[in-house]
């Protein structure tokens, strides 16, 4: 029962914070089921924010106009720079690890109306980062805790 609750929590949290949850799965020594729950949660977050994101964004702007209606900030300038230089694939690649899934998806949707393109690009990125995080850990027994301890 505890394992099921932990996997549900991983699934829910990874809908927004994919990389934090991935590192938690690795640092906690959880099994492959938790890794799959993490990737599935990331994909569910992409699906949720791709198709309901504009309604959520409009609601936030109406409820908190001073906070969410800002046009330019350091973050938006950085995102525009990445978009101009690498396109939507660059935004998709950075979304699970640097940006959060809601921010990356909503920003991508502000540049294109093609929801399918955004969904599949972000989904591929979640799967790619899931492989990057979990293959060294599960397939090769890479000890993340020791590597982090060696750095600090």
Tens place of pLDDT per residue across the chain (152 aa) = 678 898 999 999 999 999 889 888 888 888 889 999 999 999 999 999 998 887 887 887 788 877 766 667 777 788 788 888 888 888 899 888 888 899 889 888 888 888 999 999 999 999 999 998 888 888 887 766 677 667 76
Q: Do residues 15 and 40 touch, judged by C-beta distance below 8 A?
A: no
Enumerate the domain spans of the chain: 2-151
- Return the structure tokens found at 5: 């609750």
Q: Torsion-angle region of residue 99: left (phi > 0), alpha (psi -120 to 50) or beta?
A: beta
CA dihedral 76, 77, 81, 86 (to 10 degrees): -10
Nearest to 39 by CA among 137, 142, 129: 129
CA distance 16 to 29: 21
């Amino acid at each position: 029962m505890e394992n099921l609750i932990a996997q549900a929590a991983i699934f829910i949290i990874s809908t927004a914070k994919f990389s934090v949850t991935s590192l938690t799965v690795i640092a906690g020594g959880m099994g492959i089921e938790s890794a799959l729950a993490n990737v599935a949660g990331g994909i569910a977050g992409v699906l949720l924010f791709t198709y309901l994101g504009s309604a959520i964004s409009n609601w936030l702007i109406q409820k908190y106009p001073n906070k969410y209606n800002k046009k330019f900030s350091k973050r938006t300038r950085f995102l525009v720079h990445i978009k101009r230089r690498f396109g939507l694939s660059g935004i998709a690649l950075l979304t699970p690890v640097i940006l959060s899934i809601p921010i990356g998806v909503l920003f991508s949707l502000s540049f294109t109306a093609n929801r399918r393109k955004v969904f599949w690009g972000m989904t591929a990125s979640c799967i790619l980062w899931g492989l990057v995080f979990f293959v060294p850990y599960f397939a090769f027994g890479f000890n993340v805790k020791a590597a982090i301890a060696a750095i600090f």
